[in-house]
Amino acid sequence: MSWLEAGRGDDAAWAGRMRAGDEAAFAGLYHKHAGPLYRFALRMCGSETLAEDAVQEAFLALIRGGAGGFDAARGSLAAYLHGIVRRQVYRQLGAVPGSEPLEDDTAQEFEADPLEGLTRREQVEQVRQALQGLPPHYKEVVVLCDLEEMSYAEAADRLGCAIGTVRSRLSRARAQLWGRLQRVRCSL
């Protein structure tokens, strides 16, 4: 069985196989979940190293298992891993004032007008700075719903809260972002 096959299907079954020593099951679960977890952590803390550390901690917790380990009866594996990454990021945000801006992972397009490209990059940076300035509980819903394009239900599952909470936080976060961006535009 390849790692690709292990990443398909029921996560709970694959987690059981992983605990029994099936390396392909671990590789498949890692391949399936590491990317979205890393993107979330990176967008929350702004540091590649801290994001990598948070994802590594989540998978180490999955491997260790134990009393507080993954239990399919309590929720999905994605929510379990996301919860660990989220806690790690919150710890890091408290310890890392003024985190680094996020790297631009969008494809660079050829700009016929260099001024247009510069203006776009400046706007992207302004949005990133405004996002980094949000309180973590608002930032995470923007990252999940707007950047990771999760549904309200998926975000609620990952955050362990009600859909209404996600909606209200997202509304408040967008209002704060809008206000921050308006202040930047007025100051230019």
For the stretch 85-144, pLDDT in tens is 998 988 887 743 333 333 333 333 444 555 665 566 777 777 778 888 889 999 999 989
Please state, rounded to an integer, the average pLDDT across all residues of the chain: 80
Provide the whole-model pTM. Answer: 0.63
Residue pair 91/45 in contact (Cβ under 8 Å)? The answer is no
* HEC sequence for the chain: CCHHHHCCCCHHHHHHHHHCCCHHHHHHHHHHHHHHHHHHHHHHHCCHHHHHHHHHHHHHHHHHCCCCCCCCCCCCHHHHHHHHHHHHHHHHHHHCCCCCCCCCCCCCCCCCCHHHHHHHHHHHHHHHHHHHCCCHHHHHHHHHHHHCCCCHHHHHHHHCCCHHHHHHHHHHHHHHHHHHHHHHHHHC
Residue pair 7/31 in contact (Cβ under 8 Å)? The answer is yes
Q: How far apart, in whole angstroms, are the C-alpha atoms of residue 156 and residue 75? A: 12
Is 114-187 CATH 1.10.10.10? yes
Tokens 């239900």 locate to 153
CA 177 to chain centre: 18
CA 180 to chain centre: 22
Domain ranges of the chain: 3-95, 114-187
Is 3-95 CATH 1.10.1740.10? yes
Most confident of 28-42, 129-143, 172-186: 28-42
Q: Is 113 left (phi over 0), alpha (psi -120 to 50) or beta?
A: beta
Mean per-residue pLDDT, 4-33: 81
